[in-house]
Structure 1
Amino acid sequence: MKKKYMILFIIIIYCLILKYMLHVIFPFLLAILFYFVMKPFIDYFDQRIHMQRHSIGIILLVVFYFMILFVLAIIVTYGFFFIMQFIKNWPEYYVNIIEPFFNEIMGYFHQADWLKNKDVLAYLQTLLQNSIFYTMTFLSQIMNRIPTFFFSFLLFIISSFFLVIDYESIKKKFYQIFPYHTLEFIIFIKNKCLKSLGIYLKCQLILMVICFFILWIGFSVLRFQNALLYALLTAFLDSLPFIGVGIVILPMCLFYLFKGIYLKALYLFLLYLIINVVRSLLEPQIMNKQLQIPSFLLLLSMMIHLYFFGLIGIILSPIHMNIIYSILDAKDKASH
Structure 2
Amino acid sequence: MLTFYKRYARTAFDIGLIVLTVFLIMFVSSFLFDIAAPILVGYVIFLIIEPFARFLNRKGLGKTAATTISTLLFVLVVVSVVFLAGAIFVLQLQNLIALIPEYVAKFQEQVMSYVHWGQLQLNALPPDVLQKAQDFSLTLVEKASFMLTSFLNSVFAFVTSIPTLVINFIIGIVLAYFLSIEIDMWKRIAEKRTPNTFKSAYYFLKENVLSGIASYLKAQLKLITITFVLVLCGLWILRVDNAFTLALLSAFFDVLPLLGVSAIFVPWAIYLFAVGESSLAISLLILLAVVMLVRQIMEPKITGDSLGVSAFTILSFMIISLSLFGIAGVVLSPILLILIKALYDHGYLSKWIHLPSEEFQDRNDRS
Question: Which TM-score band applies after superposition, normalised by the shorter structure?
Answer: 0.5 to 0.7
Would the alpha carbon gap of residues 28 and 245 (structure 1) be closer, same or farther in structure 2, given more than 3 Å must change? farther
The separation in 2 between residues aligned to 1:266 and 1:149, in whole angstroms, is 38
Aligned pair partner of 2:320 in 308, 313, 316? 308
Correspondences of 1:91-110 after superposition (within 5 Å): 104-110=110-116
User: 1:228-280: per-residue Cα shift (whole Å, max 9, x none)?
Assistant: x99xx679936963796469857975896698431331341354367458758
Correspondences of 1:34-183 after superposition (within 5 Å): 34-51=45-62, 53-75=63-85, 104-113=110-119, 116-117=128-129, 118-146=131-159, 148-166=161-179, 167-168=182-183, 170-175=186-191, 177-183=193-199
Give the secondary-structure state (helix, strand or coil) at the position aligned to 2:255.
Answer: coil
**Contact 1:98–1:258, Cα closer than 8 Å, also in 2:** no
Correspondences of 1:1-336 after superposition (within 5 Å): 10-17=21-28, 22=33, 25=36, 27-51=38-62, 53-75=63-85, 104-113=110-119, 116-117=128-129, 118-146=131-159, 148-166=161-179, 167-168=182-183, 170-175=186-191, 177-204=193-220, 207=223, 219=234, 224=238, 237=251, 241=255, 245=261, 249=265, 253=269, 260-269=276-285, 271-272=287-288, 275=291, 289-291=304-306, 293=308, 297-310=309-322, 319-331=335-347
The separation in 2 between residues aligned to 1:102 and 1:49, in whole angstroms, is 69
Bigger CA drift: 178-187 or 322-331? 322-331
The separation in 2 between residues aligned to 1:105 and 1:137, in whole angstroms, is 23
Structure with max Cα Rg? 2
The separation in 1 between residues aligned to 2:145 and 2:42, in whole angstroms, is 39
Q: CA deviation at 1:62?
A: 1.7
The separation in 2 between residues aligned to 1:270 and 1:111, in whole angstroms, is 30
- Higher relative CO (Cα under 8 Å, sequence separation at least 6) belongs to 2
The separation in 1 between residues aligned to 2:93 and 2:150, in whole angstroms, is 23
CA RMSD of aligned residues (A): 5.1
Higher helix share: 1
**Contact 1:256–1:262, Cα closer than 8 Å, also in 2:** yes
In structure 1, the gaps of 5 or more residues are none
Which TM-score applies when normalising by structure 1?
A: 0.65
**Contact 1:200–1:315, Cα closer than 8 Å, also in 2:** no
User: Given residue 280 of structure 2, which amino acid in structure 1 is its aligned partner?
Assistant: K
Bigger CA drift: 178-187 or 320-329? 320-329
Bigger CA drift: 110-119 or 10-19? 110-119
Would the alpha carbon gap of residues 299 and 75 (structure 1) be closer, same or farther in structure 2, given more than 3 Å must change? closer
User: 1:115-145: per-residue Cα shift (whole Å, max 9, x none)?
Assistant: 9425444433433343344344434544544
Percent identical:
16
In structure 2, the gaps of 5 or more residues are 1-9, 120-124, 352-367
**Contact 1:189–1:323, Cα closer than 8 Å, also in 2:** yes
Q: CA deviation at 1:151?
A: 0.9
The separation in 1 between residues aligned to 2:193 and 2:318, in whole angstroms, is 36
The separation in 1 between residues aligned to 2:104 and 2:23, in whole angstroms, is 54
The separation in 1 between residues aligned to 2:287 and 2:328, in whole angstroms, is 26
* Count of equivalent residues: 313
**Contact 1:205–1:239, Cα closer than 8 Å, also in 2:** no
Which TM-score applies when normalising by structure 2?
A: 0.61
Q: CA deviation at 1:282?
A: 7.5
The separation in 1 between residues aligned to 2:157 and 2:93, in whole angstroms, is 22
User: Given residue 137 of structure 2, which amino acid in structure 1 is its aligned partner?
Assistant: L
Q: CA deviation at 1:194?
A: 3.7
Give the secondary-structure state (helix, strand or coil) at the position aligned to 1:290.
Answer: coil
The separation in 1 between residues aligned to 2:295 and 2:35, in whole angstroms, is 31
Would the alpha carbon gap of residues 329 and 202 (structure 1) be closer, same or farther in structure 2, given more than 3 Å must change? same
